[in-house]
Structure 1
Amino acid sequence: MNDELLYYFNPWYINQKDIVIERWENMKMRWIPEWLKDISLEPFSLNFIIGPRQVGKTTGIKLLINKLLENKDPWAIFYYDCSNLTNFEELKKVIDYYLKIKEKRNIKTSYIFLDEITYVNDWWRTIKLYIDIGKFKDDVITITGSSSIKLKGEVELFPGRRGNGKDIYVYPLSFREYLNIKGIKINKYENILEGMNNLSGLEPKIFEEFENYIETGGYPLSINGYKDTSLQIISSIENEILRSRRNLELSKAIISTILSKAPSPLSFSSIGNEVGVSYKTVEDYIEIFRRLFILDYALFKEKQIIWRKERKFFILDPFLAKTLSIWTNTEFLESALYEWIVQSHLKRRFGEVYYYRNSYEIDVIASNLKIEIKSKRAHKNYPKDVIILDESNLPLFLAVI
């Protein structure tokens, strides 16, 4: 660590503008992420911001720093991109360098942002030690990392050491969030059917923007029309898989099978038979994909969860689905895409989603909701408590989730 690097990552020390903020200001579509409100700024706090790459974690942090600079001593704010570090000893040197500045300038409370800490082997050792010996007792520490920070269970290594800190998960924009940045402000409704009925007059715009959302998903770069967004996401996924010490070609084969068979339920064994590996190997890879925010699944639920039944896999964003299609050279059905969007939205809203199949099928069960999704208008009779979503109302449903 030296002064040149210090000023590069913290240009506010020398009254210069941050390049990330300049890029954000030059974007056609820009917004302040809602998740910034959830970050605890009350000392002592240890915040973790976790999510896949390309969803705007770094930009969000820089926007928060920009806000803090309005009424805080610039030297009380420290940012470092940890992707150029390799181990906890290097991280310790970086932190020590700043803490000396803090002491010299008689700063009581610092706001320390350590970005992409996933790259630093055993990073938690330095942070845990400094919390235990009181180095951060008056500070706010915010750590960001890609999903593999969660793969190793490192967040769980800080019991009783979080203070007021929060865990914040950052995803691509939901459709409601997407509408908000397009100027269509819609609240999240507890009673979803009531919310859908309150959209009178907004329907044409909602349907128009849903077609756009299917194309761009919720990634800032794709929303702004950056042509290489898919390549950046693919590169990020490949890097994360390799960092997890898994095989890229097998990863492609498993995801390809899921895309091609969707929206049909699948078992680990059936996927394994398709790609030529054991169900245990498939289960291991699926868990990696879940923790990397690539996909998730719904379990079968009747009166209770039946674990041995097949799972309904779903991709977590429409643009990500199209990117995975490019990566694996595999097409998927339009009906599957609609189902994935609903499943992923309800998973975020309620935490868990399930499905049911008997004489009729319920694609998604979430909380007290039972939902069947059709790409065209439905004709089959369903029980009265099942919500049927098709092209006539699906965007309206998503708009209030």
Structure 2
Amino acid sequence: MRLGDLTYMNPWWEGKEDYHVRRWREQRFHWRPKWLGKLSLKPFSLNFVLGPRQVGKTTGIKLRIQELLKDNPPEAVLYVNVEVLPSHRELLNILREFQELKEKEGIKTGYIFLDEVTSLEGWWRGIKPLIDAGLLENDVVTVTGSSSLRVKRDIELFPGRRGSGKTIEVMPLSFPEYVEVMGLERPGLRRERVLKLFEAYLSTGGFPASINGLPMDDLLGAYIGEIVRFGKSLEIAKETLAAVIRSAPSATSFRALAGMTSGYSYKVVQDYIEFFTELYILGIAYLKQGNQVLYKREKKFFFRDPLLARLFALWSGTELREDALYEWVVQEHLHRRFGEVYYYRNSYEADAVAGDLKVEVKTGKTHRKYPKSVRVLGKEEVPFFLLELTPQQPAL
């Protein structure tokens, strides 16, 4: 594949509008992702943008390209969907040709966007030699991927070679972000409206397509495609996720989950759960007592977006419990706010522990007394607690 074969990916070369930008503009709810402001555009930069499928990484990149085109010639911007490349050699050749084009057109700084690199084994071989040779020193390179650990492993192959580059994780909208997109100002004074929005959020999650009412078959299909692409069994994946959902919201172990399958070993179940964490499907809250984290003890597994919980419950034929869904949403929001989340269990249990917070989520009546240090959230208190956790404010 040659550079000239990529015109359809780079319609601005021919003065045409990009498909993703047009779709974004036509959506009822659309917003400029805040993470775009974190990208380094200073040569040389090697940025990494990580996040789950269908979260808007590609659309965000295309919006950034439209902004760059206001001050740069069309030939200065290259976008490559790496999924279509058969090997890293084609990527290397394309980038070499792009350098030749820049020189021919008298362009000093190029902006290169490599999308979904996790789909191409050894993708880094297509760019690292050029960085090592100093051929990209005047360029800005942005790489996106949907498998966190795989890309993070690849990032380690560029020690001291990233210039001013940043690493950014893009997740589905949090509930506070969702409220902002819906245009609700001063939510603390609009209790009924907040509760209705939270009910909608539990159904759509924070994915742009679902928020705009589009069918989510594509999202489920994208994850199934990832499972197959990485050589995993759909049957084992389905049984493992079903076991996670059935065991929630209680803490459990890999062995206990394996016992809920048709006979897979705990090692197999552990491998699949670790894989699901790579794909941003699941998160793990470990038991924490005092300052000690007990990694070998039972764990709480949580879905990283309510829509993912609903999709995989439907796919695995498992009933989704409301109390588990509320707890998962709280755990995920605390994880985003503090970068980590645990749970606590002694004479009482706290579903989520992060920073100085201990939180217990109770969708029904609370019969047990908890210490004052534990914040007990009823069903209608959860959305207002989440609104307190916006990054601009300290957690209460």
What's the RMSD between the two structures over aligned residues? Answer: 1.6
Match of 1:389 among 363, 374, 377: 377
Partner Cα separation in structure 2 for residue 122 and residue 151 of structure 1: 11
Q: Aligned pair count? A: 387
SS of 2:101's equivalent? Answer: helix
- Once residues 77 and 190 of structure 2 are traced to their aligned partners in structure 1, the CA distance between those partners, rounded to angstroms, is 43
Q: Which residue of 2 aligns with 1:344?
A: 332
SS at match of 1:31: coil
Q: CA deviation at 1:361?
A: 1.2
The SS at the match of 2:142 is: strand
Q: Distance in 2 between matches of 1:340 and 1:56?
A: 22
Superposed counterparts of 1:204-353, under 5 Å = 204-227=192-215, 229=216, 231-275=217-261, 276-303=263-290, 304-353=292-341
1:196-239 deviations in Å (ceiling 9; x for gaps): xxx54132221121011011000011001012x1x222222222
Q: Which moved more, 1:318-327 or 1:9-18?
A: 9-18
Q: Secondary structure at the match of 2:23?
A: helix
Asked if structure 1 preserves the Cα contact closer than 8 Å seen for 2:118 and 2:151, the reply is: no
CA distance in 1: counterparts of 2:12 and 2:293, whole angstroms:
53
User: Which consecutive unaligned segments of at least 5 residues does structure 1 have?
Assistant: 187-198
Q: Tell me the SS of whatever aligns to 2:22.
A: helix
Assess, with a 3 A threshold, how the Cα gap between structure 1 residues 383 and 400 changes in structure 2: closer, same or farther: same
CA offsets per residue over residues 22-55 of structure 1, 9 Å max, x none? 1111111111111111111111100011111110
Q: What is the TM-score when the length of structure 1 is the normalising length?
A: 0.93
* Change in CA separation of 1:260 and 1:151 when aligned onto 2, cut-off 3 Å: farther
Deviations 1:271-329 (A, max 9, x none): 11222222222221111111110101111111211223110110111111000011101
Report SS of the residue matched to 1:134: coil
Cα offset, 1:140, TM superposition: 0.3
Most deviating of 301-310 and 257-266: 301-310
Deviates more, 1:311-320 or 1:298-307: 298-307
Q: CA deviation at 1:245?
A: 1.9
Unpaired runs of 5+ residues, structure 2, are: 390-396
Which one is further off, 149-158 or 164-173? Answer: 149-158
2:189 match: secondary structure: coil
**Are 1:12 and 2:8 an aligned pair?**
no
Q: 2:92–2:125: 8 Å Cα contact kept in structure 1?
A: no
Contact 1:91-1:120 at 8 Å conserved across structures: no
Q: Distance in 1 between matches of 2:71 and 2:367?
A: 60
* Alignment of 1:362 onto 2:350: yes
Tell me the secondary structure at the aligned position of residue 370 of structure 1.
strand
Distance, in Å, in 2 between the alignment partners of 1:394 and 1:152 is: 33
User: Do the aligned partners of residues 356 and 271 (structure 1) sit closer, same or farther apart at CA in structure 2, a change above 3 Å counting?
Assistant: same
Q: Give the structure-2-normalised TM-score.
A: 0.94
**Residue type at the aligned position of 1:123:** W
Identical counterparts, % of pairs: 47
Question: How far has the Cα of 1:248 moved from its partner?
Answer: 1.2
- SS of alignment partner, residue 80 of structure 1: strand
Distance 1:163 1:4 in 2: 29
Aligned to 2:132: 132
Quick one: distance in 1 between partners of 2:154 and 2:325? 33
Match of 2:393 in 1: none
Distance 1:267 1:149 in 2: 22
Cα deviation for residue 119 of structure 1 reads: 2.3
CA shift, 1:61, in A, is: 0.2
Report the Cα distance in structure 2 between the residues aligned to 1:287 and 1:118, rounded to whole angstroms. Answer: 16
